[in-house]
Amino acid sequence: MKFSMVEEDNINISKQTFFYDYEEYDEQGKGAATMIGEIMESEQFPHLKELVIGNWGGAYEVDCQEIINDIVANAEKFSHIQKLFIGNMGFEDCEVSWIMQGDYSELWEAMPQLKELTIKGSMGLELGDICHKELEELTIICGGLPKDVIQSIQKAELPKLKKLLLYIGIEDYGFDGDVDTIKNLLEQADFPALTYLGITNSEIQDELTKVVLDSKFMGQVSTLDLSNGTLTDKGGALLLEKIPAWSNIKKLDLHYNYLSDDMAEKLGALPIEVDVSEQEEAEEYHGEIYMNAMLTE
């Protein structure tokens, strides 16, 4: 097993990423079924606060369910883990749309101490009934977020959630909802501690921007993340009009966008921190205009 570790100021706060390379998976037969056992046997494991799991080997054909199941089965041994990331891999290992995820329904009860959960990939992803008293950050990175996953978040009991970052993605890679799906999420979700809202990576970013700006969370968040999507001057104009009314907004993340130079300059002049970097240009083909979300396949 390969790993990388980061230690901070020698104060027993450490982060470690575990992953298998091709030889370990293909020739030695290692995979999701062996990973947690090897992690628990590592000498660094007892000192970790943050655990990152990368490629478990052939993630495009084998899901991570056994990894989740083994964490649940050994819950007491994972009681010191406060941050968990499952699926941290680049396209060289597996395209994000191909990463086979799993069912996290039993993880919520098994890890009551968990403060941050990051999931990459959405194929086969299930969250079940979410009820967790300590979780502060939930991030899902994918090329397309299924409607049933969004609805699980919509119904979640997460009283301490401070950060919600969702990559909405596109229909071809898993997003089977629409504007109303996100509208319902923001209308019905109850996250009293939320200060960071990210609805990102969408091919309908202008429409979602309007939904977000009309949501109840605008009065409480300090960071608004609408990045990595097809935001155009239409959405930019809405932001220019409405953001000044919310003095609680301190940061606006719009990086990777389809804004004109003029609109980007106007947004950048707002009296808050604004990121309008990575301006993309729409492409025209046979009279049709094409814009793409940043992360799809």
Return all residues near 8 (Cβ < 8 A) that are at least 6 apart.
14
The C-alpha atoms of residue 294 and residue 204 are separated, in whole angstroms, by: 12
| Tens of pLDDT, residues 39-89 | 999 988 999 999 999 999 999 999 999 999 999 999 999 999 999 999 999
For 65, the token pair is 């369910």
For 118, the token pair is 């990051």
- Percent of the chain at pLDDT above 70? 96
* Mean pLDDT computed over 257-276: 98
Q: Is the pLDDT of residue 7 over 80?
A: no
pLDDT score recorded for residue 3: 63
Q: Which residue matches tokens 């089965």?
A: 73
Return all residues near 115 (Cβ < 8 A) that are at least 6 apart.
82, 83, 134, 135, 136, 137
Confidence category of residue 289, pLDDT binned at 50, 70, 90: confident
Q: Which residue matches tokens 């100021």?
A: 9
